[in-house]
Amino acid sequence: MTSAPPSFPATIHRLENGLTVVHQHMPATPVVVADVWVNAGAALEPVEWTGMAHFLEHMVFKGTERLLPGMFDYAIETRGGFSNAATSHDYAHFYMALAASALPDTLPYLADLVLHAAIPADEFVRERQVVLEEIRQAKDDPDWIGFQAMSEQVFPNHAYGRPVLGTEEILSQRSPEEMRHFHQAHYQPQNMTVVVAGGVSLDPTLEMVRHAFRAFATPLEITRETGQIQPWWGVQRQILRVPRLEHARLMMAWLGPGVDNLDAACGMDILSAVLAEGRSARLVRELREERQWVLDITSSFSLQRDCSLFTLQAWLDPDHVDPVEALICDRLSTLADQPISHAELDKAKRLLVNDFAFSTETPGQLAGLYGYYSVVASASDSYTYPARINAYTPASLSALAKQFLSANTYASTVLLPAS
């Protein structure tokens, strides 16, 4: 068992084959969530295989030599459960939620899918059309267009700048053999964490996982082309004209700390809350409520393994883009130079710590939290979040803003209606 902070309520085990298991017993609930997290996201794809990780997420559910397509869904749904999956640059994960009593019968099905995906050629061709349609739909979403353009602008030589969905051109050229190669290279025990949270105790859980996840394929080598993060100085600005756009978008982005500096990463969450979390947040109050220059404005900090991203996004009339961007830069300079009040900081801390508490109430929330941290850091790091948040002072927060949210160095992506 891996050591963890005293406050961490789960247990972490490394099995003999290298597979990590995170378990939390919740005796009061009759349900359980089993969530398999794999360090096999889009960032590990060779450039010529862009979109492979997400496409593989679809194909995992198309069966194995033992499970025909649809058998897994039938087994879960007839027991009153549900399943789903997701892929990002840093991970892919596959989960199911159902009655705790059904876990012994269904966990082997989930393990078989994830470990032994057959990737049949006929299903590959059919499912590729589903993925291509997903790409086409994304290209009709102005917010996706803007975020992808901004990602390419900020990460021109890193996988984080490539779309997780891939492109129609590249995916149309891919083969089932290439996908099997990608699967066999990355879906290995040392790259995988199985999280089980809910109404099952530890010893039976470990036995079930040990039995279900015992047979991995022989690993293959594959070229990784993650690329390099390249910081810049100055303002990078791009303007895109988008057909049928009702309101303009202003997106501003800054490179943030990665998982190697979790203290700073947690502080970025505080800055996000201070700037644009709730009606009383600084930018929301001034730009939306008082000046009425924007329809809405939001901020987010996305923690990623290699390099995180802090973003501000506003929906507004085209005539307000330039003054809004200038005002944001001015307010960021103020935030860096003038420490906020203890009352404002305490409010942001309460918001974030309470949000964390609310996000750890159900088996599904816990499985997602532990799995995500297992991929980008360590599961036990998740429960250090409140302490890291509460350690900030007005002075240390101002120093963080000065370090990462410069009004002189950021990327700006503007979406305007096509003429």
> What residue ranges do the domains of the chain occupy?
11-212, 235-417
pLDDT of residue 363: 97
DSSP states of 303-344 = --SS-EEEEEEEEE-GGGHHHHHHHHHHHHHHHHHSPPPHHH
pLDDT of residue 222: 80
pTM, two decimal places? 0.94
Apex 91 CA angle, 361 and 51, nearest 5: 135
pLDDT of residue 1: 52
Q: Is-same-fold flag (11-212; 235-417)?
A: yes
Both structure tokens of 224: 């990784």
How do beta strands 248-256 and 410-417 pair?
antiparallel
pLDDT of residue 207: 97
Q: From CA 300, how far away is CA 303, in angstroms rounded? A: 10
CATH topology of domain 11-212: Cytochrome Bc1 Complex; Chain A, domain 1 (3.30.830)
pLDDT of residue 5: 62
Instruction: Count the neighbouring beta carbons within 10 Å of the beta carbon of residue 376.
Output: 22
CATH topology of domain 235-417: Cytochrome Bc1 Complex; Chain A, domain 1 (3.30.830)
Give, in order, the Cα–Cα distances in Å from 331 to each of 150, 169, 291, 302.
22, 43, 14, 21
pLDDT of residue 228: 87
pLDDT < 50 stretches in the chain: 2
| Stretch (H or E) spanning 211 | helix 202-212
